[in-house]
Chain A
């Protein structure tokens, strides 16, 4: 099994719908992150969490929310999806020292 698992792998949804992307990890890391990747823009941080009771906004949090259900689970929600949220979304984890991330395989989201 992968260290960081994202579900679903692909999703097409309609404008205005609520959608949740899920991430679970077996690394035992406290720190978890959600990024979105757009062509030519690299990866941009949406939200991050350093432990179960800690949630922080990243540089592009508008239109998104997160939930840290357990150390191993970190979900990203789009309350009302819009087309410019079409992107590749990655979940990542890191250890306390932050010596590098472990990434999931990504969720490709299309909002039509």
Chain B
């Protein structure tokens, strides 16, 4: 079975500072890993995904994440936070197989301080 743990339900950063949102996963098979972003009153939008290709994945809006198998982590980073990055971020894991389901973390709310 797969599961995801997001450390920190709320993260605050100053505008221009590094954004680091943590995600650790548990999976009995090689995982597919995803980050989604949810802006207020909107659905979830795919930010980036890892599907067993390059371990450093670049996504939209300057975000990237690195798959580290030894640490079972898939942390999301952005070098310089922008006010428009304020949103809820969800990490998700899937086995990507015929019976694939997604398992979501509980989310991290990012606040950007001007």
Interface residues of A (CB under 8 A from B): 4, 33, 35, 40-45, 48, 58, 90, 92, 94, 97-106
Report if B106 contacts A (CB, 8 A).
Answer: yes
Residues of B86-109 at the interface with A, using a CB-CB cut-off of 8 Å, are 90, 94, 96-97, 100-102, 104-107
CB interface residues, B 29-54, toward A, < 8 Å: 32, 34, 36, 42-46, 49, 51
Complex alpha-carbon distance, A103 and B46, angstroms: 9
* Cross-chain contact of A48 among B44, B51, B101 (Cβ < 8 A): B101
B residues less than 8 Å from A92 (CB atoms): 44
Interface residues on B, range: 20 to 34
When A40-B9, A42-B105 are in contact, do A101 and B96 touch as well, CB less than 8 Å?
no
Give which listed residue, A4, A41, A94, A99, contacts B106 with CB less than 8 A: A41
Quick one: which of B36, B45, B51 contacts A99, CB cutoff 8 A? B51
**Contact residues in B for A104 (Cβ distance below 8 Å):** 43
Q: Name the CB-closest residue of B to A103.
A: B43
Q: Pick the 10 closest A-B CB pairs, nearest first.
A: A98-B100, A103-B43, A42-B106, A43-B104, A103-B44, A105-B43, A42-B104, A100-B46, A98-B96, A42-B107
Which residue in chain B gives the minimum CB-CB distance to A41? B106
CA distance A103 to B47 in the complex (A): 13
Q: Assess whether B106 is in contact with A101, with CB atoms less than 8 Å apart.
A: no
A99 touches B102 (CB 8 A): no
**Chain B positions within 8 Å of A101 at CB level:** 36, 44, 46, 102
Which chain B residue lies CB-closest to A58? B101
Which residues of A lie under 8 Å from residue B9 when comparing CB positions? 40
Given contacts A97-B96, A100-B34, A101-B102, contact A42 B43 (CB under 8 A): no
Instruction: Specify which chain B residues have a CB less than 8 angstroms from the CB of A43 in the assembled complex.
Output: 44, 90, 104
